[in-house]
Structure 1
Amino acid sequence: MAYPPDPAEPPVVPPALAIGHSTNLVGVPMDFLTSCDFNDGPVPLHIAGAREMNPGLFEMLAQAGDLTEAGDAFSCYMNAMFGIDPEQRETHTDRRGGRRRFRSSFLNLIKGWGFDSNGAEGAVLKGWVESRFGIFPTFHKDAIRRIASGAWTTYVAEKMSSRFHNNAIYVQLDLLFEFCQWALARFAAPGQSHLTLYRGTNSFDEHQIVRRIDKRNVIMRLNSLASFTSDRDIAGCFGDIVLTAKVPAPKVAFFNHLLKAHPLKGEGEYLVIGGEYRVAANYF
């Protein structure tokens, strides 16, 4: 069974991938954004231009009386802007027998993430985090310890796949993040700066330990995008070690009650932007 390493051991995180890009689209210095200091005193995060270019969406949301109405408004807006109603999301055969690729949807990416966070859809989501927040992934199918490694090459190839990169997919994810932040502040967690979330694991390959604080508490570098749950019992189904973290609300990119229907509802799942976190690692 994996335990946090002895404090005398060197940090797991390699210098080349310690943080990520020097810039991002949220206007917060990378050293601060990826640190425990940010988590202790978070500031709001907004993707440059996303709200300013879509004022109509937030005018609609302002009229919602609860989260369900807000989710319906968001879905209607996304369908109108990106044509992602169900019949447009599927691939069909045209009259001449040829295959036609229809519009990519953020819902397809979430569905793919639910099946396998290290699949092609997961790579696109991690690529969006890298593009917008500047944070490199630590794991995709295998530990990513340096740029130009085999694991890095696989990640880059999948995140750039033309299968998903149509219909302004990153812009769709920008709006999903902004809606998530709006919904947390307005309905889901008003006035809360942090949420206590849980993750089950059997190893520390994907989320690398940087430093051990004491027997159970460590500073861990989470993957650029990570799944957590609000239910500790559910976390225990995914591993013998349960990680408990106080996640700052600005780093939540998606949560299970955000939309009325989506593939992650059954597990109370939250998608969390990575970086260094203080976490408690305990046996379930």
Structure 2
Amino acid sequence: MQADRGHSTNLVGVPTGLIASTAFNANPVSLHIASVCDSNRSLFRMLAEADTPAIAAGMFESYMATMFDLDDQDRDGRGPARFKASSYLRLLRGWGYEANSPEGAVLKGWVESRFGLFPTFHKAPIQKFWDKTWITYVEEKMSSRFHSNAIQSQLDLLFEFSQWALARFHAPGKTHIRLYRGTNNFEEQQLLARPDKRHVIVRLNSLLSFTSDRDTASSFGDTILEVEVPVVKILFFNELLPKHALKGEGEYVVIGGDYEAKALYY
């Protein structure tokens, strides 16, 4: 499993091994999921008229509601049971409670199918194919209750909107954003090298959370990883939408791989 970073093909046109590398993180290139923007030109034409992030977010939510038949209860992630599995916001809500939840498996599965990256952790380290941990991940990512209503297409649009909003409003002209992640061990993030006391190279899970606030990160562990995250690897962030389940921690949901990080200790 360690030798296999991911699939040989993906939907973004950049080799998976490169996406997963520290070289990519140092010199990122644009990542777009094949045909998503072309298939949703009306959304991006509409977004081009938005003067503020709030207006753009409202346009996106209205488009998603129309395209995927989401009602107001779907939008805050608290809809009745028959809707909960069908909304991208429901998945984000589950992720916010627990990244190793079934909802987290679906999100990691989306990263695997679009970017080619295998997860390295789901409830426990994934050491090889067909071990118990891998089978649990596969069973949860394929659960039928999370795959109604074109959920993969919903996540595709969420990623593309996030990238559009970062370039237009939240991080114009930036290639990286400095983010933090607290940890007490390197079980979920594998330590690959330690060039010196202050710097490490870590293999991060295919999808994981960071925060923009260093003090918030410190509440999750005595070691804080300070990372320059490529903007093109951000799936979701706190300011993207007005109502969602990840409010309060400056959270960013980031595509993983090998990262150079500064290790800060408390």
* TM-score normalised by structure 1 residue count: 0.90
1:14 is aligned to 2:2? yes
Cα shift at 1:14: 2.3
What is aligned with 1:65? Answer: 51
CA root-mean-square deviation? 1.4
Distance 1:177 1:14 in 2: 27
What is aligned with 1:48? Answer: 34
Q: Deviations over 1:164-183 (max 9, x none)?
A: 10000000000000000000
Cα distance change, pair 149–193 in 1 and its aligned pair in 2 (3 A): same
Alignment-mate amino acid for residue 29 of structure 2: V
Structure 2 unmatched ranges of 5 or more:
none
Structure 1 unmatched ranges of 5 or more:
1-12, 93-99
Distance 1:161 1:36 in 2: 33
Cα shift at 1:216: 2.1
Distance 1:101 1:178 in 2: 23
Distance 1:102 1:274 in 2: 26
Alignment-mate amino acid for residue 179 of structure 1: F
Residue of 144, 168, 177 corresponding to 1:162: 144
Equivalence map 1:84-163=2 (5 Å): 84-87=70-73, 90-91=79-80, 104-163=86-145
1:229 is aligned to 2:229? no
Answer 1 or 2: which has greater helix percent.
2
Please state whether the residue corresponding to 2:152 is helix, strand or coil.
helix
Distance 1:102 1:237 in 2: 30
Distance 1:102 1:255 in 2: 21
What percentage of residue pairs aligned between the two structures are identical? 58
Counterpart contact for 1:83–1:103, Cα < 8 Å: no
What is aligned with 1:78? Answer: 64
Please state whether the residue corresponding to 1:210 is helix, strand or coil.
strand
Distance 1:242 1:164 in 2: 33
Cα shift at 1:202: 0.8
The alignment of Structure 1 onto Structure 2 pairs a total of residues equal to 263
Cα shift at 1:30: 1.7
Cα distance change, pair 40–80 in 1 and its aligned pair in 2 (3 A): same
Cα distance change, pair 184–20 in 1 and its aligned pair in 2 (3 A): same
